[in-house]
Amino acid sequence: MTEFAKPYLQLGLIGYPVKHSLSPRIHQAALESLGVEGRYHLYPVPPLPEGKSDLEALLEQLRQGVIDGLNVTIPHKQSVLPYLDELTEDAGAIGAVNTLYEKRGRLIGDNTDAAGFWADLQLRLGRWKGERRALVLGAGGAARAVVYALLQYGWHVAVTARRREQSLSLVENFRRLSGKLPDRAAGGESDAPCLEVIPFTEQGISDFLAHTPASRRVLIVNATPVGMEPDFDDNPLPASLPLPEGAFVYDLIYRPAETALLRSALAQGLPACNGLGMLVEQAALAFERWTGEPAPRRAMYAAVQSYQIEDINSDQDKVYSRDRCNPPRD
Ligand code: NAP
């Protein structure tokens, strides 16, 4: 049983739509596991300007301590920024928030997607020794978090999106920050991070992948919604494009558990995972911001584990077995 200053915690998610979110299950499991009274609410707030007064009312409740912590999702990850007093370093660099809390009367905006992605990636990669080369599909909010995480650890990142100007704007954002990005690689061993835009065409992607010989490895991250239910058969990569032998595929989508992209990776015997681990990890980090307590990751993960792929390459290497995919720490 964990003692908190407040006997009942009010947490929640602002977004639109929110009714299918897994966040209530994850956070409710965390509260129960710690024996804390509280509730994680869903707050459907339409896009601005329609949802302006609802959004303002919720933020005021957060400032007054009526609400103890909020998550923010589409379409408010950026529209909420003008209402905040302060952004954390990660949220400022990414230019979007997913976690809000109050500190000494000030509203703080944080972004735990980048750290959540990185923490889960470490778990999935295990002994996968790659070249620290990544191809990121998409250039929206999630792609920004992924790119930010990878750059901090010295990865070479190629971004591709159907609107070239969006990829260019992402790259420009991080180039501007270049030199100010935290260098989090162990022992300061990171190479100078490298960021490029490649055309969102079969030729462009295939040229990039062709520069990854069989002996080398490349991480492919899907940060587009292509393949989300109900479009189970849509693949963000051209179907005719074979994945390189040394690829590791990370799809940020977790519903369905196995997207067409993941199916093609698994069919080729490649290591692959969906975004459920990132979802749990970003939630755990948000929970820690709100409570100051270590999040009960096992309980949080168990609450949604049925959305995980059952057999991530378990026959290839124990590293990718189901047990390995359970967060090992609480
Ligand atoms: P977003 O800001 O709307 O960005 C989506 C990106 O995908 C944009 O570049 C968009 O281009 C592109 N895109 C959309 N439809 C496409 C299509 N049919 N073909 C090619 N590109 C397309 O969304 P987001 O917040 O980054 O989320 C992206 C995905 O990541 C979603 O599936 C979301 O559920 C997932 N996600 C997962 C986690 C997790 O914890 N696992 C966290 C965050 C997000 P346009 O701007 O041209 O549409």
* DSSP codes of every residue in 176-225: HHTTTS---SGGG-PPPPEEEE--SSHHHHHHHHHTS-TTS-EEEEE-S-
State pLDDT tens for residues 176-222: 887 666 666 554 444 556 899 999 999 999 999 887 766 678 999 99
Evaluate whether 113 touches 145 at the Cβ level (below 8 Å).
yes
pTM for this model (two decimals): 0.91
Is there an atom of ligand 1 within 6 Å of 321 CB? no
Closest by CA to 222, choosing from 269, 271, 273, is 273
The helix (run of H) or strand (run of E) holding residue 249 is: strand 247-251
User: Tokens 């990121």 appear where?
Assistant: 136
Minimal-distance CA residue to ligand 1 atom 31 = 225
The contacts of residue 158 (CB under 8 Å, 6+ apart) are: 133, 134, 135, 136, 195, 196, 197, 198, 208
* Structure confidence at residue 215 (pLDDT): 66
Is there an atom of ligand 1 within 6 Å of 224 CB? yes
Q: How far is residue 125 from each of residues 69, 98, 165, 188, 199, measured CA to CA in Å?
A: 31, 25, 31, 20, 27
* Structure confidence at residue 238 (pLDDT): 84
Closest by CA to 71, choosing from 289, 217, 234, is 289
* Structure confidence at residue 323 (pLDDT): 33
- Tell me, in angstroms, the distance from the centre of ligand 1 to residue 46's CA: 19
Minimal-distance CA residue to ligand 1 atom 47 = 163
Residue 311: both structure tokens together: 């057999």
* Structure confidence at residue 125 (pLDDT): 85
Cα angle 278, 280, 283 (rounded to 5 degrees) comes to 105
Pocket probe mutation, ligand 1, options 21, 117, 252, 262, max atoms within 8 Å of Cβ: 252
Catalytic residues, by residue number, are 77
Cα four-point dihedral sign 280, 21, 61, 63 = positive
In a 3-state reduction of DSSP, which class is residue 86? strand
Flag residues of the chain having pLDDT under 70.
Answer: 1-5, 127-130, 179-193, 213-215, 310-330
* Structure confidence at residue 309 (pLDDT): 74
* Structure confidence at residue 63 (pLDDT): 97
Minimal-distance CA residue to ligand 1 atom 37 = 252
User: Tokens 């681990």 appear where?
Assistant: 277
Evaluate whether 136 touches 171 at the Cβ level (below 8 Å).
no
**327: amino acid identity, one letter:** P
- Tell me, in angstroms, the distance from the centre of ligand 1 to residue 142's CA: 7
State pLDDT tens for residues 78-97: 999 999 999 999 999 999 99
Is there an atom of ligand 1 within 6 Å of 251 CB? no
Closest by CA to 40, choosing from 15, 11, 74, 1, is 11
* Structure confidence at residue 141 (pLDDT): 93
Is there an atom of ligand 1 within 6 Å of 275 CB? yes
What's the CA gap between 86 and 181, in Å, rounded? Answer: 18
